[in-house]
C-alpha cells in the first residue's frame, strides 16, 4: 500500500495524480490530508477538485489531542510558537497525526510532494524520518512551476492563496517564516491574521521575524521592511503541459 501525503499544494496534488497513474493498477494507493484550521478555506475546494481529478477519495489524518486541528490552539497549549528545530503545530498536527495514521494502517511506501529543487529536503527526510519514500516528482524531474502548469493544463484551479502572492498553500501567517518580506505581505493581504499573530507571539514571548540581523516581535517590524523576495510561480502552458495531461 502506498500512502500519498496531500498538503493542498500544487506539488502534492501532482504527486498524487502521478502515483495513481503509475501504481494504482497494481497497488493500493491512499491519499491522506492533515486538515489545518488556519489554512485558507479555498484549500478545501482544491482538495475536492483534486479528489475528483485523480479518482481517489482523500482521507483525513488528525491528532485527537487537538480536536480543532488549530495551530493557534497548539501554540496556546504548548506556550511556544517556533524555534530553530521547527514549530509545535507541525509536530502535533502533521507529524504526530501521520504517525497515528501509520500505526493503524501500516503503509509500505510513502509519497510526498518533494520537487526536483527540493532534493535535499527529500534526502533529509529519508535519513531522519522514513526510508520508504517514492520520489515521484524528483524521478520525473518536475519543479514547483511544472506542477502548477500541470494543474492548469488539467483545468484544475490551484488554491487561491497562490494568486494572493504566497509561495505555498500552507497556513496563512506561518510561524516558521522569519522573513520581513513574508510578514509584511501577511500584514498587507491578511491584516487581521497579522494582528492575531502579533498579539499571541508577544504574549507568549515569541520573536518571529528577523530584520537586520535581529529577532523582533511582529509589532516591532517596520511596515516598509523588506528582505529577500518571496519566490512565486512562473509557468507557460505549451507543449510541455500537453505531455502531462493526467
Instruction: Give the pLDDT of the chain (246 residues) as one tens digit per residue.
Output: 999 999 999 999 999 999 999 999 999 999 999 999 999 999 999 999 999 999 999 999 999 999 899 999 999 999 999 987 789 999 999 999 999 999 999 999 999 999 999 999 999 999 988 899 999 999 999 999 999 999 999 999 999 999 999 988 889 999 999 999 999 999 999 999 999 999 999 999 999 999 999 999 999 999 999 988 886 543 333 333 334 445
| Contact present, 55 and 30 (Cβ < 8 Å) | no
Q: What is the dihedral of CA 13, 17, 20, 21, to 10 degrees?
A: -160
Q: In 10 A of CB 35, how many CB atoms?
A: 15
CATH topology of domain 2-165: Rossmann fold (3.40.50)
Domain boundaries, the chain: 2-165
Q: In 10 A of CB 98, how many CB atoms?
A: 20
Q: In 10 A of CB 45, how many CB atoms?
A: 14
How far apart, in whole angstroms, are the C-alpha atoms of residue 39 and residue 148? 19
Amino acid at each position: 500500500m502506498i500512502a500519498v501525503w496531500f498538503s493542498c499544494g500544487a506539488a502534492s496534488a501532482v504527486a498524487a495524480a502521478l502515483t495513481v497513474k503509475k501504481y494504482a493498477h497494481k497497488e493500493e494507493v491512499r491519499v491522506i490530508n492533515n486538515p489545518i484550521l488556519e489554512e485558507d478555506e479555498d484549500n478545501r475546494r482544491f482538495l475536492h477538485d483534486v479528489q475528483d481529478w485523480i479518482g481517489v477519495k482523500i482521507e483525513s489524518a488528525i491528532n485527537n489531542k487537538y480536536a480543532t486541528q488549530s495551530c493557534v490552539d497548539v501554540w496556546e497549549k504548548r506556550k511556544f510558537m517556533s524555534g530553530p528545530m521547527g514549530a509545535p503545530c507541525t509536530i502535533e498536527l502533521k507529524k504526530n497525526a501521520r504517525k497515528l495514521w501509520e500505526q493503524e494502517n501500516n503503509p509500505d511506501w510513502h509519497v510526498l510532494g518533494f520537487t526536483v529543487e527540493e532534493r535535499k529536503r527529500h534526502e533529509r527526510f529519508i535519513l531522519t524520518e522514513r526510508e520508504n519514500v517514492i520520489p515521484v516528482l524528483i524521478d520525473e524531474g518536475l519543479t514547483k512551476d511544472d506542477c502548477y502548469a500541470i494543474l492548469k493544463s488539467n483545468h484544475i484551479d490551484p488554491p487561491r492563496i497562490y494568486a494572493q502572492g504566497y509561495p505555498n498553500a500552507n497556513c496563512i501567517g506561518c510561524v516558521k517564516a522569519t522573513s520581513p518580506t513574508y510578514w509584511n505581505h501577511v500584514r498587507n493581504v491578511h491584516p487581521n491574521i497579522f494582528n492575531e499573530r502579533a498579539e499571541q507571539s508577544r504574549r507568549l514571548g515569541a520573536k518571529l521575524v528577523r530584520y537586520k540581523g535581529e529577532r523582533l516581535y511582529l509589532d516591532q517590524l517596520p511596515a516598509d521592511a523588506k528582505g529577500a523576495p518571496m519566490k512565486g510561480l512562473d509557468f507557460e502552458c505549451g507543449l510541455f503541459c500537453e505531455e502531462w495531461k493526467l
